[in-house]
Amino acid sequence: MPAPRGLSNVDHSDGALVRRVLAGETDAFAGLVARHRDRCARFAVHMLGNREDAEDAMQEAFLRAFRALRRCEDPEQFGSWLFRILVNRCRTIAARRGRRQRTIVFDDEAVERASVAHPEDRDAWREEIAQALARIDPLQREAFLLRYVEDLGYEEMSRLTGTGISALKMRAKRACDRLRDLLAEVYHA
């Protein structure tokens, strides 16, 4: 069923768009992509640390979601289902990258940027936060991003990651502690 005139795919619920795609109107998937792209991009960039890997993770997640759309048990919860796929893709890409990059590279320029005594402008502070996030354990970073950036509850985080609530709480706490320490190093340097 085509969208009524004047209404884009973004004007329909996830469930309606999923049903349209499953009925053969594959162009309706563009509405799902448009609706969820920004949130997925934000998470993937923070999780993986660079736009190229994030874009790969997002493309793979959307492609896998499209191919497996019939297995989405609750079309109204497409966003959560897609996010679960994205979390797994980010984990896979990070693990693959970690196996390839076992050497430590000492970057004098990055060290110099990190040693700025008081980052006063927002861009510098955001860069410091991004660098600190990149330095924490990937599972802790994932828990931190899901909880404090994506503002998910621990139950939803548990469903997305397959990890117990108490483990997620501990990971998020450890991430906060580690970030506090890393940012204090920069701020008080």
Residue 126 and residue 83 in contact, taking contact as beta carbons nearer than 8 Å: no
Distant-in-sequence, close-in-space partners of 21: CB < 8 Å, separation ≥ 6: 28, 29, 32, 66, 69
Determine if the pTM surpasses 0.85. no
Cα(first)–Cα(last) distance of the chain, in Å?
Answer: 61
Average pLDDT value over all residues in the chain: 82
Tell me which of 123 and 147 has the higher pLDDT.
Answer: 147
- The encoded tokens of residue 69 equal 């759309």
Residue 42 and residue 83 in contact, taking contact as beta carbons nearer than 8 Å: no
Q: How far apart are alpha carbons 156 and 143 in whole angstroms?
A: 11
Sequential DSSP letters for 2-22: PPPTT--GGGS-HHHHHHHHH
Mean pLDDT across 155-171:
93
Per-residue model confidence as pLDDT tens digits over 73-118: 999 999 999 999 999 999 999 888 765 554 334 444 544 444 444 4
Does pLDDT of 2 surpass 80?
no
Per-residue model confidence as pLDDT tens digits over 39-55: 999 999 999 988 999 99
Strands (E), 24-182: none
Residue 145's alpha-carbon distances to 81, 116, 168, in angstroms, are 17, 25, 11
- DSSP at 188: T
The tokens 């619920």 sit on which residue?
A: 13
Q: Output the pLDDT for position 98.
A: 64
Mean pLDDT across 159-173:
94
